[in-house]
Chains A and B, each alone.
Chain A
Amino acid sequence: MYQWFMITLIGKDQIGIVAKITTALYEGGCNLGEASMLRLGGNFTIMLMLHYEGNAQALEELLKPVAKDLQLHFHIDTIEGQLHQHQLPNVRVSVHGADRTGIVAQVTTVLAEAGLNIIDLESDVGGDEQQPFYVMHIEGIATSGIVALEAALQQLLLQQPDIEVKLEPVETVFM
């Protein structure tokens, strides 16, 4: 019987992090599931589902040497994971504007109140240090309909005219 775990790893970006971590896991008998790995602000971040026959302690021992070698922090959670649980997004929200505090909180709060379940969110800061701008893309499910989200965003834009928000339906051509 195996157990699903979620591991998170963070550290200064360098060549070979993914290769060395996944090789250690593979050689230790782990089977990897869904993952998100990306560079954020010079750090490399990994969120990774895996299943493994040992316990969390054994998994920690497996990761310790390679994480130490790469100077990565890591954390292990025992989870009720399952594959084949994908949900299909039906809406995409794109946001950009001059960077300031509160953009994510303001946008996602009105969207959550209008029924948006976020499946995927990516954001980035562009521009330069004098004039940074913020870009965010969200894919999710409009559980109360897209019209409700549109109305909520229109209301938000009256109060926060400095941000550009575009909402569009995501249509999946299914064949």
Chain B
Amino acid sequence: MALLDLLIYPDVRLKQVSASVRVFDEKLHAFLTDLEETMRAGPGSVGIAAPQVGYFERIVIIDVSSKPKIKHHGHLILVNPEITQWKGFEVGREGCMSVPDYTGNVIRAKKIHLMALDENGVQQEYDMEGYEARAVQHEIDHLDGLLFLDRLVSRRYDLFQRSQS
């Protein structure tokens, strides 16, 4: 077990597109343990993507279960995740361990349908909404070399477009 070093914006490696995971072995599982530990070490952090620690494979860990009164799936390891359906949109505030001392408003789909492999390469499907759906969309962006900074909307935009579906 080890805490991994986070890439911090404006590190250009955060723009790199990650490759699909092909091999599900001990090495992957050891990495997942370290990635999880790194996520848990971030104050209040509910998710992490492998490229945030310079490991450019399509892996995300999410756990929004600490948030009260929301629908969620608990702790999830998402390998090669793909969103196959989007429904509605809303503006919400996001922060990121790779972007210290800054939060901003971002438009995300309210509800998503997600396909992903688990840590053993078994196909899983999820319907997600709200906070959890936002977290997954934020993390999948990392796999494509995008940060929430690439999706910021202005405050004034937020005033009039919020909560539409």
Q: Which residues of A contact B (CB under 8 A)?
A: 84, 86, 88-89, 94, 120, 122, 135, 137, 170-175
Residue among A84, A135, A170, A172 having the largest count of chain B Cβ atoms under 10 Å: A172
Q: How far is the CA of A17 from the CA of B46 in the complex (A)?
A: 43
Taking the complex as formed, is B103 at the interface, i.e. its CB lies under 8 A from any CB of chain A?
yes
Q: Beyond the given A173-B95, A173-B135, please list 6 additional residue pairs across the A-B interface where CB-CB is below 8 A.
A: A88-B103, A122-B155, A171-B67, A173-B138, A174-B94, A174-B96
Chain A residue, CB-CB nearest to B106: A173
A–B Cβ pairs within 8 angstroms, 7 of them: A86-B103, A135-B159, A171-B92, A171-B93, A171-B131, A173-B135, A175-B47
Which of B45, B101, B139 has a CB less than 8 Å from the CB of A174? B45
The 9 closest A-B pairs by CB, nearest first: A175-B47, A174-B95, A172-B93, A174-B44, A173-B134, A84-B101, A173-B94, A137-B159, A175-B138
B26-60 vs A: 1/0 string, CB under 8 Å? 00000000000000001111111000000000000
Report which residue of A89, A135, A172, A173 has the largest number of chain B beta carbons within 10 angstroms of its beta carbon.
A173
- Are B101 and A86 in touch, CB under 8 angstroms? yes
**Which chain A residues border B96 with CB–CB below 8 Å?**
174-175
Residues of A near B42 (CB, < 8 A) are 174
The number of residues on chain B lying at the interface, defined by a beta carbon within 8 Å of a beta carbon of chain A, is 25
The smallest beta-carbon distance between B43 and chain A, in angstroms, is 8
Residues of B within 8 A of A (CB): 42-48, 67, 92-97, 101-103, 131, 134-135, 138-139, 155-156, 159
Q: Is the CB–CB distance between B92 and A175 below 8 Å?
A: no
A84 to B139, CA, bound (A): 25
Are B159 and A172 closer than 8 Å at their CB atoms?
Answer: no
Give the contacting residue for A175; candidates B67, B97, B156, B159; CB below 8 A. B97
A173-B63 Cα distance, complex, nearest whole Å: 11
Pairwise interchain contact B101-A173, C-beta atoms closer than 8 A? no
The answer on a CB contact under 8 Å between B138 and A122 is no
Query: Which chain A residue shows the least CB distance to B49?
Result: A175
Cβ A170 vs Cβ B156 within 8 A: no
Q: How far is the CB of B148 from chain A (nearest CB, A)?
A: 9
Instruction: Give the nearest-CB partner of B132 in chain A.
Output: A173
Give the complex CA separation of A171 and B91 in angstroms: 11
What B residues does A174 contact at CB under 8 A?
42-46, 94-97, 103
CB distance from B64 to the nearest CB of A (A): 8
The answer to whether A172 and B95 touch across the interface, beta carbons within 8 angstroms, is yes
The residue of chain A having its C-beta at the shortest distance from the C-beta of B52 within the complex is: A175
In the assembled complex, the CB of B6 is this many whole angstroms from the nearest CB of chain A, namely 11
The residues of A that contact B67 with a CB separation of less than 8 Å are 171
In the complex, which residues of chain A have a beta carbon less than 8 angstroms from the beta carbon of B43? Answer: 174
CB contacts (< 8 Å) of B47 on chain A: these are 175
With A and B bound together, what is the CA distance between A25 and B111 in angstroms?
46
